[in-house]
A = this chain, B = another copy of it.
Amino acid sequence: MSEILSGAAVIGQSGGPTVVINQSLVGYVEAAKQVPAITRVLGARHGVQGILNEDLVDLGAESSENLERVARIPAAALGSVRMKPKREDCARMVETFKKFDIRYFFYIGGNDTAETAHIVEQLTREQGYEMRCFHVPKTIDNDLRVTDHCPGYGSAARFVAHAFQGDDRDNRSLKGVKINVVMGRHAGWLTAASTLGRRNEEDGPHLVYLPERVFDPQAFLQDVAQVYERYGRCIVAVSEGIHDAEGKPFLQVYAEMSGSAMAGETDSHGNVQLSGTGALGDALANLVKDNMGKIRVRADTFGYLQRSFPADASPVDQKEAREVGRAAVAAAVSGEHGSGSIAIRRLADQPYASETFVTPLDTVAKVTKDMPDEFLAGSNAVSQAFHAYALPLTGGLEPMADLSFEPASPAVQA
């Protein structure tokens, strides 16, 4: 690599929210302000849209007190965007880069965001404009390749695990079948986190259905009936991405099975809308009601709370999210990398320790990572190996407690 480039730096945020995405933003600001070669520390509002529109703000002007406050709030403080820039967009972006003398481009997001950073890097190189382009990882889906895990996942996993701990107590208190739908269209990482607060077989969720496996409605009904017979209740964790052997979403399968109109919305690609609707949970609850007779069946869809609930962030996740922002700046000015994505390497489980490293953008862009087989157990459970992997990322979970239920005997006759 060449000498350290002198010029402004800009960062953007892209894709869905996490509760620690602004930790990475603040990590970037803190680190960039310390680098003499970085002349200005800028931010782009709504990601590449802000670069196209020259809607840039001076993050170097923020007080450190306000930055600490912003670090703790969920969802992109700069505003987010879902947009893959085309060739002509990139040409316009380079004009903005030149106009603002920007030599460092940082982009916080998932695999699509890494791809955008990659496109920007290629285009600027073709145009002979020297730049450093870095991807800063974030996603509650935990589906980026190379990295051990993604900032944003630990907090979402903590929320989901806490939600199931509470719902298990709720269900013990007033029994029945309870189905909870968890985010994650393609990979089951977040749904699997529903199990992290369990102490034993009797604690829910008793059944876990992930998109890494084919969802068979008949097997599901048998599973539920079996658990219900054993415990008089059953808690089910379901990924929003469950599908049949051909990859058809369950909601569509159900509509065809039941002859009902297709519940929920489809997008322009014909994909069923999975988030921001209770249709999948309601369909599963109806399936159980129609097949198991008069029992109490309820469904909840956790929805956006999973990615934006502000009061239950994982301290481990907060720290790592801050660190990847700082590490991106360090990598960009190191002279060792023209571009890259920041990844996390796990050093130890107990006590948990990690470090960051740089991986090429094209190793992270586009393709996502499903859960490996070793993290699944059969068709409706996860493994102890997953538990060991994921629990440290939540920052730890307080176990629930039970009364000892010592039977009282009648009083001795006076």
Chain A residues packing against B (C-beta within 8 Å): 8, 13, 16-17, 19, 39-40, 42-43, 45, 54, 56-59, 61-62, 66, 69-70, 72-80, 82, 99-101, 158, 162-163, 165-167, 169-170, 172-174, 178, 260-261, 263-265, 275-279, 281-282, 285, 289, 297-305, 307-312, 398, 400-408, 410-411, 414
Contacts and interface: CB of A to CB of B under 8 A. Distances in A.
Nearest to A261: B260
A80 B174 contact: yes
A101 B408 CA distance: 12
Contacts of A285: 276-277
Nearest to A401: B69
3 tightest Cβ-Cβ pairs between the two chains A and B:
A278-B278, A276-B298, A300-B303
B299 A302 contact: no
B70 A401 contact: yes
Contacts of A76: 173
A69 B45 CA distance: 46
Contacts of A407: 56-58
Number of copies: 2
Nearest to A68: B401
Contacts of A403: 43, 57, 59, 62, 66, 70, 77-78
A240 to B, nearest CB: 12
A169 B20 CA distance: 12
Given A75-B173, A162-B309, A302-B303, 20 more contacts: A16-B174, A57-B403, A57-B404, A57-B406, A57-B407, A58-B406, A62-B403, A69-B401, A70-B402, A74-B166, A79-B173, A80-B174, A82-B174, A158-B311, A166-B309, A169-B308, A277-B281, A278-B281, A279-B282, A312-B312
21 contacts: A39-B411, A57-B406, A58-B406, A66-B404, A70-B403, A72-B398, A75-B170, A75-B173, A166-B308, A167-B304, A170-B308, A178-B304, A260-B261, A275-B298, A278-B278, A300-B301, A300-B305, A302-B303, A305-B305, A310-B400, A311-B311
